[in-house]
């Protein structure tokens, strides 16, 4: 009986960590790395805008950021530190706490360089519209 009870406790504990993960409307998972960083882990092949969409949605809905607050890229694409998946991108709302230098805003930038930023409203503008079903 004790073994069964211990298995049940461990199973519930395992499900609790899965429930804590944030899933953006585009299917990307977002996990908090530490108090300053969070990472976007795509569910498959994604466009650059999909990272921004998930980062903006997480910052607004989970962290309480305002529409005009800025979200910054803190680490380029690389292996996830929270899931060990091959591809993740880290973001922050506080570049000083993350130890990065913000890039100048405006102008054309290619790729997803560290320090690049946009407002939460701009980031969520990359989200695909949610289909309306009747």
Sequential DSSP letters for 22-81: EE-TTS-EEEE-SSS-EEEE-SSS--HHHHHHHHHHHHHHTT---TT-EEEEEEEEE--T
Range 63-85 average pLDDT: 95
**CA 69 to CA 121: how far, in whole Å?**
8
- Summarised one tens digit per residue, pLDDT across range 8-65 is 444 434 333 444 679 999 999 999 999 999 999 998 888 999 999 999 999 999 999 9
- Burial-class residue 2 by CB neighbours within 10 Å (0-12, 13-18, 19+): exposed
Residue 87, SS3 per DSSP:
coil
């Amino acid at each position: 009986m004790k073994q069964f009870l211990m298995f049940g406790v461990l199973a519930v504990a395992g499900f609790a960590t899965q429930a804590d993960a944030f899933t953006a409307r585009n299917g990307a998972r977002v996990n908090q790395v530490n108090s300053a960083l969070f990472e976007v882990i795509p569910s498959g092949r994604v466009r650059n805008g999909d990272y921004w969409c998930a980062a903006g949605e997480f910052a607004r809905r989970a962290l309480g950021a305002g529409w005009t607050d800025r979200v910054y890229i803190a680490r380029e694409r690389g292996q996830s530190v929270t899931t060990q998946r091959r591809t993740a991108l880290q973001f922050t709302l506080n570049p000083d706490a993350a130890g990065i230098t913000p890039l100048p805003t405006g102008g054309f930038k290619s790729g997803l360089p560290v320090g690049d930023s946009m407002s939460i409203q701009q980031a969520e503008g990359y989200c695909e519209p949610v289909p309306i079903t009747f």
